[in-house]
């Protein structure tokens, strides 16, 4: 059975590289794109929380996106970036940095519609995925940022912001 389609007409995305994969976040959520910088470590932080950085006088937690997604972490290089996003959670807004291997571009996807995550017959963490689109002949996985930072993780990140 084919996956259902969802409209993405008129939406723009910032496309990110993690390993060989391409992901996207809504351009409206992106506040800044920064070069990597030294981070302050947080004690007892989950493995995907790299630390905190200062952005315009505010402590911002930084998530190692490859680790958060279950990929092996990658070494920082000249292409690595921190994408600072604002996630509008039901209880409050969350500012967080996403450490990614590279940032490609701000773009629309090739199709006006995208597919929902495929049903593979078993449970897997597809709730982070809003849609699967295409760009330049390859797949682009569009994040659902609210679900990527579920309520349990919001509590952990909020502690980092208050540091």
82-110 pLDDT tens trace: 999 999 888 788 899 999 999 999 988 87
Q: Do 29 and 11 form a contact (C-beta atoms < 8 A)?
A: no
pLDDT of 78 over the 60 cut: yes
Could you tell me the residue ranges of all domains in the chain? 5-161
14 phi/psi in degrees, rounded to 5? -95, 120
Q: From start to end of 35-137, where are the E strands?
A: 49-55, 58-64, 81-88, 93-100, 102-107, 113-115, 129-135
Q: How many residues does the chain have?
A: 163
Half-sphere exposure of 119 (CA within 13 A, CB side): 5
pLDDT tens-place string over residues 14-71: 999 998 889 999 999 999 999 999 999 999 888 889 999 999 999 999 999 988 888 8
Question: What's the pLDDT at 11?
Answer: 85
Q: Do 136 and 158 form a contact (C-beta atoms < 8 A)?
A: no
CB burial class (10 A; 0-12, 13-18, 19+) of residue 57?
exposed
CATH of domain 5-161: 2.40.50.180
């Amino acid at each position: 059975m084919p996956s259902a389609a969802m409209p993405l007409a008129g939406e723009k995305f910032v496309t990110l590289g993690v390993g060989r994969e391409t992901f996207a976040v809504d351009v409206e959520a992106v506040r800044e794109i920064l070069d990597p910088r030294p981070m302050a470590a947080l004690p007892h932080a989950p493995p995907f929380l790299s630390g905190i950085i200062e952005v315009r006088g505010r402590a911002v937690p930084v998530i190692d996106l490859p680790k958060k997604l279950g990929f092996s972490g990658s070494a920082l290089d000249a292409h690595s970036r921190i994408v600072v996003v604002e996630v509008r959670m039901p209880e409050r807004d969350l500012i967080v940095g996403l450490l990614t291997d590279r940032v490609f571009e701000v773009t629309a996807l090739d199709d006006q519609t995208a597919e929902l995550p495929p049903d593979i017959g078993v449970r897997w963490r597809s709730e982070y995925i809003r849609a699967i689109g295409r760009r330049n002949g390859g797949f682009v996985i569009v994040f659902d940022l609210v679900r990527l930072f579920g309520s349990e993780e919001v509590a952990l990140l909020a502690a980092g912001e208050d540091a």
